[in-house]
Structure 1
Amino acid sequence: MNKSKFLSKLEVPQREEEAEVWQQSRWLNRDNVPLPPSRRLWGAWSYVGFWCATGINISGWTGGSSLLSLGLSVGEAMAVVVIGQCLVAGACVLTGLFGAEWHVGFPLWNRTTWGMKASFFPLLNRIALSFTWSATQAWFGGQVLKTLLGSMFPSIYSEFATSCCIADIAGMHNPFPASTAMDGSDFLCFCLFLIISLPLLYIPPEHFRIPFLVTAMISTIACFSLFIWSLARGHGPGPLIGSDAMALVGVEKARGKALAWAMFYGISSQMGQICAGILNNSDYTRFAVHPRAQIFSQVFIIPIQGVMTCLIGIVCTSVAAQYYPEEGLLWSPYKLLTAVQNNGGNGARAGVFFASLAFLFAQFGINIAGNAISGGVDMASLLPKYINIRRGAYFTTLMALPMCPWALVSGATVYISVMSGYATFLAPMTGLMVFDYMFVRKRKVKLSNLYDCSPNSIYYYYKGVNFRAVVAWVCGVGPLFPGFLASVSTVTVSEGATHIYYLCWPLGFTISGVVFVVLSKIWPPAGVGEVDEYDYFGTFGEPDGPPEAEQAEVIKSVEGARDKDPVDAVHAVPVRV
């Protein structure tokens, strides 16, 4: 089999009615085309389910309780959560406008701001984040699966290890060194979670709204059940609320200036945990039935679910510190459930089973929709001829293994550092894109030019690169990078650089956005305010196009250009879907 035949075998199967579209442009496929009304199925309740499913889970729980490791009291931690979640809600509404109004996702939004070719830079960054988050959430899912199986068969870990040849010749069931922060059963359940996830990736994302609502109800009931159980058993919210809280936690109470900066750091970590979701929120708001569907639901549900999940996590951690002091700070729900089972009887095992099952559903919800599908959407815009959303989602899921997530979540402070570090690079990207859409382009987009990589496109800029975006992004990352470097290495930086890093997300977002607007005022980009004269894609109804005389002129000009550059010539054809 020659090379061309081999590559043709790898091409994404295409529907007969879409074959002509695929042949016209290598920048266009069914998964990144502006969605027609028939595929926009998400109403306001769909976004309620989406954010509950992606917020009421293990990462949301640990995001609140891990704030205690910074030296914050419970009241201070909750103040941080309230501020952080309100900022998250505002950011999500802003990044959701583009998708809700023009029904295209994050990869296409990149092209308007960065340029047709430079758009691959933020796209690759977002894909890398999808790999990281998919691995992290799959690891959490594996831990819940381990707890679930352990509640059914307490000796299952050793049995699994033996049957799968995980044990070594000396009969030890942990072939991994202590530095890996995991044992054989952890690794096995992590792999099982990935395997179970694969069939679920077949569901198209526009049909996730019902599974989201079901998952949201299950995880909400589980969280509130643990919350009520903890309050009843502890006869209150537990000892962490009292004056001896820091002694129980094992950290020094932050005071004075240190307290203020710890709270700033906590707010940034709240936004850092969801910074990837903020950036590509348009990948899901593009499914909105109408633009308002995503606004009101996100404004209310994001702070509510975020604050309640963090509060539940903090209270349950507090009560656990009273009853299981030898276990340390149980900042993960699966560790809490394991402690409950180890110290309880058959009734405790039954409760752990149902709670673990609920959290397992939640992990499938967030990891498949929030990470695997997001990675698939982004990868489908890299190589649309060979990758669609489904193939990209499979690849993102399988990449969880080489990402070594057990190293990312080895401790509460490590977890916060990793989450906050993401915002160093993503917050400036988010800022310049939002400022461009809101203040430079005044929320007007020329959809047809998003699939035209030639100087005819207003988004081509200079050889496919918008230098304004590059400069603005560097200006946003520059002040944050020294602090980021210090947080992930042994490099020592000044206290001022560290404090700037503590303001990571809001500072990077604002700096890049303002710089981009200033550069756009000094050197105005071409085509600002332009929109398509015709609805070529049927985005707002039935597709239409220019009169036959105008079409003839377009075809004539394209045929003349084809002799000079046959690749870019096809991009000048107005595509009708």
Structure 2
Amino acid sequence: MSGRCRSTVWMGMVHNIVAYETAGSLLGLGMSVWQALATVVVANVILILAMWVNSVAGAKYGIPFPVLVRASFGHQAAQIPVLIRAFVAIFWFAVQSWAGSKAVGAVLGLLIPGWAALGDVHVLGMGLNDALAYAVFWVLHAYVISHGMERVKFFELWAGPLVIVLGLGLVTWALVAAHGVGPLFAEPSKLTNGQFWHVFFLSVTGLIGVWATLVLNIPDFTRFARSQKDQVVGQAIGLPGTAIVFAVMSIIITSGTIVVFGRPIWDPVELLKQFHNPVILILGSFSLLVATLSVNVAANVVSPAYDLINLFPKKLNFVKAGMLSIVIALFFAPWLWFDNANTIFAILGAIGGTLGPVAGIMIGDFYFVRRRNYDMAAFYSRNGPYSYSNGWNFRALVAMGIGTILSLIGLFVPALSGLYAYSWFLGVGAGLIVYVFLMRPRESVVALSQASSEVD
């Protein structure tokens, strides 16, 4: 794949409605623009460091996540983290579909008289107009899946840049409407010092949660790298750079809505409606729709579809698995919670907390247990060192269970609610430490102390 193709695919992955709304909603939590920008930068720095650490094995051995995870979990138990990753991808499909359906609804609202009145009729917790728009967008995904990936491949090369053009247009509007940069950055924080730090860590964890799946399956990408240097440089340019730029644009635009409308509008479709211009609304909505369709099928259908095929190879092919994935996605019901900034980050924290222990176990296995050396043949052998007990490494499952409990305990125990802001970090740390100690009880302390000395 050429450098141009790689960069545009990354743009298509990063530049989508959910990424825009997640960054913009930081202002909805009461942050100032400067606080929101700092939160985005910190989250992306932590994210890229975690990806670098977990990407080395993929580049070194040229094998993807579902195979690498066998070393720590065993051939059979490895299906559990793979299945968790699949369901998280399906969850993101549901969220992206709901966000994209708003663009569909905006266009239909221009074409169909009385469309807004349908919102007075409620179906499954949403207005009938929203339900119809969601159904239309869902059927569009089903059509693409049923005809294979060739239908959207050409979208991936220009969907991201198209959204950037739209974003730059909205940034220009914000600067003009606010009469310069000053007013956009002058809005004070609505959080006290104590409140800010709690919201800051919760938001950092939530922003990491958006890409927590990629921390796990980054070997799926780096296994094609020609060298470790290439994969490190490629990630540094591809993800944090584009993600930070896009988040900055979102925050500036959302700040502009505060100046102009007196309230933060982090929903880009809702913002487009405020211009009361059919041309702007149709072109903008089309850009968002294409970008969402591109990232949703490529990132959130292909992966779980192949994971499901791996589980049921005799019963499923790509089309059947893809259709099953998007049917399951309906049960996540994002229309019930996605429009609330606090709920967004609470759920993102849960995702990070669930995936964090698996990342910690993989990192602990590669660096501390295996000392960066895997037995390639053992990945494909039922009787090798990664077979454990009939394919099950129960120590990895215990570590994952303890890590998950610690990462999510603040969500269920009110007295420990403050811990929930650190869910991903607790999950990674607990998964790594418990796994290393269970796997190498005599040498784990030495391994961890040596690693600490090297870092110092």
Common topology (TM > 0.5): yes
Q: Which of 297, 304, 309 is matched with 2:234 structurally?
A: 297
Q: Which residue of 2 aligns with 1:514?
A: 433
Q: Which residue of 1 aligns with 2:448?
A: none
* Aligned residues: CA RMSD: 2.8
Counterpart CA distance in 1 for 2:51 and 2:431 is 17
Could you tell me whether the CA contact under 8 Å between 1:43 and 1:288 is conserved in 2?
no
Could you tell me whether the CA contact under 8 Å between 1:276 and 1:426 is conserved in 2?
yes
Q: Which residue of 2 aligns with 1:258?
A: 195
Once the two structures are superposed, what CA deviation does each residue of 1:441-492 show, in whole Å capped at 9, x if it has no partner?
A: 244444443344x4x132110222113312322332232222122xxxxxx5
Counterpart CA distance in 1 for 2:352 and 2:186 is 33
Q: Which of 227, 250, 256 is matched with 1:313 structurally?
A: 250
Q: Which residue of 2 aligns with 1:472?
A: 399
Residue 133 of structure 2 corresponds to residue 214 of structure 1: no
Residue 377 of structure 2 corresponds to residue 461 of structure 1: no
**Which stretch shows the higher mean deviation, 507-516 or 355-364?**
507-516
Amino acid at match of 2:174: S
Could you tell me whether the CA contact under 8 Å between 2:364 and 2:435 is conserved in 1?
yes
What is the aligned residue count?
A: 444
Amino acid at match of 2:24: S
Q: Which of 392, 396, 402 is matched with 2:325 structurally?
A: 396
Amino acid at match of 1:478: I
Q: Which residue of 2 aligns with 1:555?
A: none
Amino acid at match of 2:269: Y
Q: Which residue of 2 aligns with 1:190?
A: 134
Could you tell me whether the CA contact under 8 Å between 2:353 and 2:426 is conserved in 1?
no
Counterpart CA distance in 1 for 2:346 and 2:248 is 21
Once the two structures are superposed, what CA deviation does each residue of 1:313-344 show, in whole Å capped at 9, x if it has no partner?
A: 1221222223333xx43111111112222xxx
How far has the Cα of 1:78 moved from its partner?
0.6
Q: Which residue of 2 aligns with 1:546?
A: none
What percent of counterpart residues are identical?
25
Counterpart CA distance in 2 for 1:229 and 1:444 is 54
Could you tell me whether the CA contact under 8 Å between 2:65 and 2:218 is conserved in 1?
yes
Q: List alignment gaps of at least 5 residues for structure 2.
A: 445-456
Once the two structures are superposed, what CA deviation does each residue of 1:79-133 show, in whole Å capped at 9, x if it has no partner?
A: 0100101111222233333434434332222222111121122122222212211
How far has the Cα of 1:207 moved from its partner?
11
Q: Give 3-state SS (helix, strand or coil) of 1:522's partner.
A: coil
Could you tell me whether the CA contact under 8 Å between 1:115 and 1:459 is conserved in 2?
yes
Counterpart CA distance in 1 for 2:365 and 2:155 is 34
Counterpart CA distance in 2 for 1:187 and 1:286 is 41
Residue 347 of structure 2 corresponds to residue 418 of structure 1: yes
Change (3 A) 1:459 1:225: same
Q: List alignment gaps of at least 5 residues for structure 1.
A: 1-41, 159-170, 247-252, 342-347, 486-491, 526-577
**Which stretch shows the higher mean deviation, 419-428 or 284-293?**
284-293
Once the two structures are superposed, what CA deviation does each residue of 1:344-399 show, in whole Å capped at 9, x if it has no partner?
A: xxxx2212222211111110122111111121132122122333444322321232
Amino acid at match of 2:437: V
Q: Which residue of 1 aligns with 2:84?
A: 125
Counterpart CA distance in 2 for 1:143 and 1:402 is 19
Q: How does 1:96-495 map to 2 (within 5 A)?
A: 96-151=55-110, 153=111, 155=113, 157=115, 174-176=120-122, 180=125, 182-201=126-145, 211-237=155-181, 241-243=185-187, 245=188, 253-288=190-225, 292-325=229-262, 328-341=263-276, 348-452=277-381, 454=382, 456-485=383-412, 493-494=414-415
Larger proportion of helix? 2
Amino acid at match of 1:66: S
Change (3 A) 1:239 1:147: farther
Once the two structures are superposed, what CA deviation does each residue of 1:146-178 show, in whole Å capped at 9, x if it has no partner?
A: 223335x263736xxxxxxxxxxxx9664316x
Amino acid at match of 2:113: S
Amino acid at match of 1:83: V
Counterpart CA distance in 2 for 1:93 and 1:154 is 49
Could you tell me whether the CA contact under 8 Å between 2:357 and 2:428 is conserved in 1?
yes
Amino acid at match of 1:394: M
Counterpart CA distance in 2 for 1:445 and 1:434 is 13
Q: Give 3-state SS (helix, strand or coil) of 1:479's partner.
A: helix
Counterpart CA distance in 2 for 1:210 and 1:89 is 28
Change (3 A) 1:369 1:288: farther
Counterpart CA distance in 2 for 1:476 and 1:462 is 22
Counterpart CA distance in 2 for 1:356 and 1:385 is 41
Counterpart CA distance in 2 for 1:209 and 1:173 is 35
